Structure 1
């Protein structure tokens, strides 16, 4: 497996390649190869299963960007400090690794990783508190178990035109919840409605619509 060649950048956006029997060294070599910046890697080390996805599919990217915009608009309106780190690579030997679509430090805002490295050392540093995953097509490798082993507190998954929050429990597994622990009161259902019904809206228009809903429902349950 050590002679495995990196994927070709000529592959169409959204293309996924899944390999079995991959070891840690091969995963890191491929993920760090100079010609693979346009790929996201998901590696489940206990099973040796590696997924390589070519970035750039339009629907995937605009959906991911919209969720991030709404996340930051909510945090600003509620006075919550966040630090977005995009698709920061997360890895830990023995657990695996993944490249989120978007990610944020929120409850761990004051414990950001060192800025002199491209990949945080998760043996010493904390992963982002919130990760966003957009599944436009069926994934080849399940990411939730990997994020759980990496210690990510919360994962929002966009699938089938819905936004679902998964919160890490004391047993080290994710529970689907109706409210975010990192951004309490975030209107998951309304955010999904905005993304579905206003695909051509300007960024500011999406953010303004979310803020207007928050101000209308101030003090009420998320919706």
Structure 2
């Protein structure tokens, strides 16, 4: 495949290509295939291809698993679709989050194996790790794709952002998915038990969710 593109930015674990039209973007996705570790973000002609580092993957996996464990504790129906490629040609936007979930709209996509944002609702929640290290700003892409809520983990902190009417995001003290839980504390639980392994972390996340849920009931 011959492409007309200009390489302007590059790091050891990522590269950004410019002047990529939509068909070229689709062709690159096809060439990269589904079984790959690299992830992409496309914003109106600019394409970033990133190979995640081990620390990035550690927090992606643990925070993503924590979201599922909390949903189990709260008996919430959900779907986890990992780094699915989401794209809208009309918005010239596409990306692969570190993880994404359906909660509020889970019943609308239940059992589906293929998704099209022209007909299906977007995920209710997306997770991004180390967002400040990305060469292409993810927020405008997520906004044009219509993702209602973003969790961004960076430098030890987890921040919540909610989509506004103008397709921008505003930081929020609470989550739409788990409004009664102080989800910003999740990295603290993970780091506290990091040296004791994944199973211990999952046990403590479930205890944390149970404890905060019980405390909320007592307050009411």
TM-score, normalised to structure 2, is 0.85
1:202 corresponds to which residue? 197
Higher percent of residues as helix: 2
Structure 1 vs Structure 2 CA RMSD: 2.7
1:1-223 to structure 2, matched below 5 A, reads: 3=3, 15-34=13-32, 37-45=36-44, 48-55=45-52, 57-95=53-91, 96-112=93-109, 115-117=112-114, 120-135=115-130, 138-217=133-212, 218-220=214-216
Query: Structure 1 pair 167/199, CA: closer, same or farther in 2 (3 Å)?
Result: same
Contact 1:85 1:102 survives alignment (8 Å): yes
Q: Secondary structure at the match of 1:192?
A: helix
Find the aligned partners of 1:113 and 1:43 in 2 and give their Cα distance: 27
Query: Structure 1 pair 136/130, CA: closer, same or farther in 2 (3 Å)?
Result: closer
Query: Structure 1 pair 123/60, CA: closer, same or farther in 2 (3 Å)?
Result: same
CA offset digits 1:107-144 (Å, max 9, x no partner)? 00011177453xx2111111111100111761110111
Deviation of 1:177 after TM superposition, in Å, equals 0.8
Contact 1:19 1:50 survives alignment (8 Å): yes
Query: Structure 1 pair 216/114, CA: closer, same or farther in 2 (3 Å)?
Result: closer
Unaligned runs of 5+ in 1: 6-11
Deviation of 1:64 after TM superposition, in Å, equals 0.3
Unaligned runs of 5+ in 2: 6-10
CA offset digits 1:183-215 (Å, max 9, x no partner)? 222332321112333333332311221222233
Deviation of 1:4 after TM superposition, in Å, equals 5.4
Query: Structure 1 pair 114/21, CA: closer, same or farther in 2 (3 Å)?
Result: farther
TM-score, normalised to structure 1, is 0.84
Q: Secondary structure at the match of 1:33?
A: helix
